[in-house]
Amino acid sequence: MHYDLIIRNGICVLPWGEARADIGVRAGRIASLSVGVADEADEVIDAAGLHVLPGLIDPHVHLRDPGDATVESIPTGTRAAALGGVTTVFDMPNTAPSITDGDMLRWKQEYASRESWVDFAMYVGATRGNTPRLGEYEQFDGVCAIKVFAGSSTGDLMIEDDEGIRQVLEHGHRRVAFHSEDEYRLQERKKLLTEEMSYDRHPFWRDEECAFLGTRRIVGLARRARRPVHILHTSTAEELDWLAAHRDVATVEVLVNHLTQVAPDCYETLGALAVMNPPIRDRRHYEASWEAVRNGMVDTIGSDHAPHSLAAKAKPWPATPAGLTGVQTLVPVMLDHVNAGRLSLGRMVDLMAAGPARVYGLQAKGRIAMGYDADFTLVDMAAQRRITNDWIATPAGWTPFDGMAVTGWPMATIVRGRAVMREDTILGEPAGRLACFAP
């Protein structure tokens, strides 16, 4: 039999466990998991010594497009994703201008379909003005979810009050994603800040109660509206413990930074390059996040890739903008956690492929199975590398993980049967498509 692509000799992470399998791809879909020795293909990849994962997904990126291309853009950000082993990204709406109406959605659909190196999805930002049309907007091709900033945003991308959130939840039916810090507490605590304070006061301002209060309010409203919600970048032990009683209405994201960096050390070593929202917190919350990964509380892991220029980040706290780069380093850092024994490779795949597909209703992605998109992340679990700034494709040009030694590295990124990256080299031209979601 003839295929477009055959991947031979790899250890495949299948939904039912690891197994050696030769995969056949035809017309961008998985056509066989048992390719014969005599079968041929236009292209054959020998994956001996590698693990073949379903294409990994970063469901939380800010590619800043439209915005400032000297910091990030869809072409550069998706190139970074491909270099890092990510086959699909979900892009946030807080751009300039924001993605909040049909015209901007159509612009982004066309632009991403032309310029993205990997498959692409986008959030629609909820505003008070567009709330009545959110049910319409969530059905646009490539839209993964409605995003609500209940705290920490600018312009009209802020709906912090219960009535505003209730109205959002009444329009549409798909899962709504939330930045759930409580804006009222944020503004009250901001009065305690002075310019003389150091970067390690960031979690003092945006404290545990700020996050926990926001999450309690949002989940309570979601339950009354009978509308599922996804709590983004959950960062506190209190939230994770409380959310265990609300799994019927709420799913949970944790960021790689909250699983990797610990306060106050990160602020002492990185300064502004550790400032993000919600903040990197102390070891109690770090340990709680890992326990939530182990006990199944966490559904997805993302990078919250949100680049700023080094010049902007150099401003003293609290004037420095919050946000770190991360889409390119997400997979290597998580592979290092696997090798350190903090989670299994299968659990990582669950969090970074099957999990996003399940939470957002992403169709034909997230697992290696017949008929699914032929998206694969090929990794060398034994490769020892060092993450450095000069590897970063994002124009901002830095990573908070600069100098970090890791074990485990993405060796190939394959999107719908097409190799986009092999051995740190980008191949061909951008050919990403809009991801498909259940209506």
Q: Which residues are catalytic?
A: 304
With H, G, I as helix, E, B as strand and everything else as coil, classify residue 258: helix
Please tell me the distance from the alpha carbon of residue 258 to that of residue 365, in angstroms, as a whole number.
26
User: Are the beta carbons of 69 and 108 closer than 8 angstroms?
Assistant: no
Please tell me the distance from the alpha carbon of residue 161 to that of residue 157, in angstroms, as a whole number.
13
Length of the chain: 439
Q: Which of 60, 99, 11 is nearest to 352 (CA)?
A: 60
Please tell me the distance from the alpha carbon of residue 127 to that of residue 157, in angstroms, as a whole number.
6
Which residues have a Cβ under 8 Å from the Cβ of 38 and sit 6 or more positions away?
none
Neighbours of 70 (CB within 10 A): 12
Please tell me the distance from the alpha carbon of residue 423 to that of residue 273, in angstroms, as a whole number.
28
Please tell me the distance from the alpha carbon of residue 185 to that of residue 8, in angstroms, as a whole number.
55
Please tell me the distance from the alpha carbon of residue 266 to that of residue 227, in angstroms, as a whole number.
37
Which residues have a Cβ under 8 Å from the Cβ of 39 and sit 6 or more positions away?
1, 2, 3, 6, 24
Complete DSSP assignment for 131-181 = GGGHHHHTTSTTEEEEEEESSS--TT----SHHHHHHHHTS-SS-EEEE--
Q: Which two tokens stand for residue 344?
A: 């299994």
Which residues have a Cβ under 8 Å from the Cβ of 174 and sit 6 or more positions away?
138, 145, 146, 228, 361, 437, 438
Query: What amino acid occupies position 276?
Result: M
List, in sequence order, every residue forming a beta bridge with 89; answer none if it has no partner: 58, 120
